[in-house]
Amino acid sequence: MSKLGDSLRAQREKKGITLDQAAADTRIREKFLKALEDGDYQSLPGAVYTKGFLRNYAEYLDLQADELVVLFHQERGGQPEAPRSFQPMRPVVHRSLIFTPKVLLPVVVLAGVVLFVGYLYYQFTSFATPPRLDVTNPPGDVIASQPDLLIRGVTVPDGRITVRAFPGQNAITDVRPATDGTFSTNVSLVQGANHIEIEVLDAAGKVSRVTRNVRLEVAATTPPGPPPQLIVEQPANGAAFTNTPVQVSGRVDRSITSLQVNNIAVSVNPDGSFTARYYLPAGPQSFRIVARNAAGGVVEETRNVVVSYTAAVVNVFVRGGDAWLLATVDGADVAGTGRVYKDGETAVFTGREVRLRSGNAGATQVIYNGTLIANLGRQGEVVDRTFTAQ
């Protein structure tokens, strides 16, 4: 049994974090995290890299990194390295260096060794960091009422995306992200449980994977009853939105059992009104609003709009902890910033240039001109980001 591994696993499970989520947050491969928790030191890289992984993982789980490093040395069968003592060197007589073949050959060999070691280190660090993959739709495990499901997210621009749905269709392998990393595709669901895997392969051969469980529940094929009442007040069909999110709002009657916008459920107020806000990238966008009632009646409305940006619009969401934020717009600090924003607070900044400094990048999420950037960095990390009008 590994006391170190038990401590890591117990703290992770106490926080309700899966290994897959921990690997995505820490940018450490899942198999290395599992090896640490299992005490499988043979499957880990060298001690120097393993101690780095262990310190990052300990800080992520709010554990004492130094104590875990000592415990790692003990379980691995060694002791922490003690600093070496150096004896003063005797003075030497300097002579002019003459590059003869006998001198030049060792220099060339040494330079080759240094370059080779540097290449191995670069390959290792590149291998240890998987590419970014954020799936924004569906945001998690959901229940769907339509067999067509829109998959949308953000990844590296040079990534190659594969989407698989089990059971059902074959893999979709021709998904290519846009220059800003955004991507979307549709998958077909079967009645009952569906397991969806979204995988991205970057140019260096590294892979990231996100899964979603979607249950398709289609009502029995009985003659539908009268449709519910659906009034879409906003947006108007063909409306243009500049530098603002798109708000979808309206009213339904009390007979409805579900209301969805683009296959995502929207809550309805007791008086029958509903409102949802969407941050979308520039270009034509479409909204499909569907209402259903218990009698099987269905009513559907579609709105097509155009979104554009003439400035940098930065929507900030503080989630997962508090964060100190300072916003500078067009060279001037924004009044009211430069303080600690509580978990759940939001803010929006608009200008030709928006500079954002966060004292807790792991709790600072940003949507820039409709594009989700997710967290700006790691928990407790200080990050400066500048956004300019496109």
User: What CATH number did the domain enclosing 31 receive?
Assistant: 1.10.260.40
Q: In this structure, is residue 86 part of a structural domain?
A: no
Among the candidates 308, 325, 356, a domain finishes at 308
**Same domain flag for 44 and 62:** yes
Q: Is the pLDDT of residue 338 over 90?
A: yes
Q: Are strands 264-265 and 240-242 parallel, antiparallel or unpaired?
A: unpaired
How confident is the model over 173-230, as pLDDT tens digits? 668 899 999 999 988 888 888 888 898 888 887 888 999 998 988 766 566 678 888 9
Instruction: Convert the pLDDT of each residue in 313-335 to its tens digit.
Output: 999 999 999 999 999 999 999 99
> Rounded to whole angstroms, how far apart are CA atoms 351 and 6?
50
pLDDT at 84: 39
Low-confidence winner among 4-8, 24-28, 287-291 (lowest mean pLDDT): 4-8
SS3 11: helix
Say what the pLDDT of residue 43 is. 85
As given in the structure block, the two tokens for residue 253 are: 């009657």
The tally of domains found in the chain comes to 4
Nearest-angstrom CA–CA distance, 29 and 34? 9
Q: Do residues 381 and 328 share a domain?
A: yes
Asked if residue 170 has pLDDT above 80, the reply is no
Model pLDDT, residue 177: 92
86 band by pLDDT with thresholds 50, 70 and 90? very low
pLDDT at 78: 54
Q: Is this model's pTM higher than 0.75 or not?
A: no
The terminus-to-terminus CA distance of the chain in angstroms comes to 56
Q: 248 CB contacts (<8 Å, ≥6 apart)?
A: 232, 234, 235, 261, 266, 275, 276, 277, 278, 287, 289, 303
Please tell me whether the peptide bond between 270 and the residue prior to it is cis, using omega within 30 degrees of 0. no
